[in-house]
Amino acid sequence: MKYLILVIFLATLNITVGQTDNKKQEVTFGTYIESVHGIDFVNGKYEIVFWIWINSKDGIFNPEDEIDISHSISTEFSNIYIDSSTNGMYHIECKVSATILNYFNVSNFPFDKQKLNLNIEFANYSTNDLNINLDKEHSRIIPEYLEGWKTKSKFYKKSINYGSNFGSLTSKESISYPTVSLELNISRNAMNLYFKLFLTLLLSFILALTSLLYPNENSEEKIGLIVGSLFTTVGNKYVTDGILPIQNSLNLSDKLHFLTILVITLIAAFAIIEQRLKLPDRNKTDFIMLLIFSLLFFGGFLFFTFQAMS
């Protein structure tokens, strides 16, 4: 009987020790977003400066050793402050500056809405080892500085699984890493930028359209206006292409520039036909063609613009 009691006691002790060993560590995580800047559509990246703090009863979690910023091409930790003076609690906070790769869809630029993703990953732990509690009371996830954009943010925890165990000697299965995720959904009042970018196209079209008012005998002046407006349109296309990445689909800028080039080309074709057929000057004909080209240009311009805005 004594041996039976001893066996039961040892079995109970082993189970208790096993449960203690498998107990998850607990941390409380908070963040304060200071600024988001350097949004680069061409290279698909943005820069962010933020503060983080980690509180725990299990020990000090040093961000430089414990944390990885997913898809970051450069990360700098500074102003590290550690407080272990409170009995049973450990606190660490620091400032983080990072440049992060991010996908941007610019099909509707400048009426585009973008999502900036920030994933703060506890890379030395699996979801079986660590439980994260978010300090939403003291966190601030709306950036202090984000010029020209309106922001809506989400702050939550999740796990990331890369489909690999990265050569771990303790786990043959792919590892899920505990992660704090921040989504910044940004949009802007784009009308000022829209007019700055595409006002040149309107001026180019009007310049080409005035060629219809020239007498047919002034063919050199007519062709000169049309060619000048065409080169102005092409030059503006190079400017907008310099701030946008190359994508498989046409964006708003492509559509508006191609529309302008098409209409100006049609105006040039009409001027050439007039010269070749030696058509007499007729105000009625010129007015009808002016109306047709205007409807084609402004109709297409408004259609593509409202399509992007919606």
291-300 tens-digit pLDDT: 999 999 999 9
Would you say 24 and 130 are in contact if contact means Cβ atoms under 8 Å apart?
yes
191-309 has the same fold as 25-187: no
Is this model's pTM higher than 0.85 or not? no
pLDDT value, residue 212 = 83
If you average pLDDT over residues 115-133, what whole number do you get? 89
> In terms of DSSP bridges, do strands 114-122 and 176-187 run parallel, antiparallel, or are they unpaired?
antiparallel
User: Given this model, what pLDDT does residue 15 score?
Assistant: 41
Calpha distance 261→268 (Å, rounded): 10
Average pLDDT of the chain, as a whole number: 85
More confident residue, 213 or 7: 213
Give residue 20's pLDDT band: very low, low, confident or very high (50, 70, 90). Answer: very low
pLDDT at 83: 87
Q: Where would I find the beta strands (DSSP E) of 123-249? A: 130-134, 150-161, 176-187
Cis check for the bond before 178: say yes or no (omega within 30 of 0). Answer: no
Give every CB contact of residue 26 below 8 A, 6+ residues apart in sequence: 56, 57, 58, 130, 131, 133
- 22 falls in which pLDDT band (50, 70, 90)? low
Mean pLDDT value of segment 212-217: 76
Q: What is the pLDDT of residues 170-207, one digit of tens each?
A: 767 777 888 999 999 999 888 889 999 999 999 999 99
Distance CA 185, CA 73 (A): 21
> Which pLDDT does position 183 carry in this prediction?
92
What number is the average pLDDT over the span 105-125?
90
Between CA 159 and CA 156 the distance in angstroms is: 10
What pLDDT is recorded for position 169? 62
Question: So what's the pLDDT on residue 202?
Answer: 93
pLDDT over 70, % of the chain: 90
Helix (H, G, I), strand (E, B) or coil at 115: strand
**pLDDT tens per residue, range 69-103:** 999 999 999 999 988 877 788 899 999 999 999 99
- Write the burial class of residue 202 (CB in 10 Å: 0-12 exposed, 13-18 middle, 19+ buried): middle
CB 114 within 8 A of CB 151: no
Contact partners, residue 151, CB within 8 Å, separation at least 6? 142, 143, 184, 185, 186
At 47 the pLDDT is 94
> How long a stretch of residues is the chain?
310
Angle between helices 219-241 and 252-277 (to 10 degrees): 170
pLDDT band at residue 281 using 50, 70 and 90 as cut-offs: low
* pLDDT on residue 101: 95
Containing 48, the helix (H) or strand (E) segment is strand 45-56
25-187: CATH topology is: Acetylcholine Binding Protein; Chain: A, (2.70.170)
Residue boundaries of the structural domains of the chain: 25-187, 191-309
119 has a pLDDT exceeding 50? yes
Q: With H, G, I as helix, E, B as strand and everything else as coil, classify residue 309.
A: helix
pLDDT in tens, 159-179: 887 777 677 667 677 778 889
Q: In CATH, what class is 191-309? A: mainly alpha
SS3 306: helix
Is it the case that residue 18 has pLDDT exceeding 80? no
What's residue 10's pLDDT?
A: 41
Give the bridge partners for 31, in sequence order: 52
Weakest-pLDDT range from 33-42, 98-107, 153-162, 192-201: 153-162
* Mean pLDDT, residues 92-119: 92
Q: How far apart are CA 219 and CA 204, in angstroms?
A: 19
Q: What is the mean pLDDT of residues 223-245?
A: 89
The sign one gets for the Cα dihedral 6, 7, 13, 16 is: negative
pLDDT in the model for residue 5? 43
Q: What pLDDT does residue 9 have?
A: 43
Contact, 123 vs 176, CB < 8 A?
A: no
Per DSSP, helices labelled H in 99-167 are none
Which of 237, 236, 233, 170 has the alpha carbon at shortest distance from 204?
A: 233
Q: How many CA atoms lie within 13 A of 190 on its CB side?
A: 19
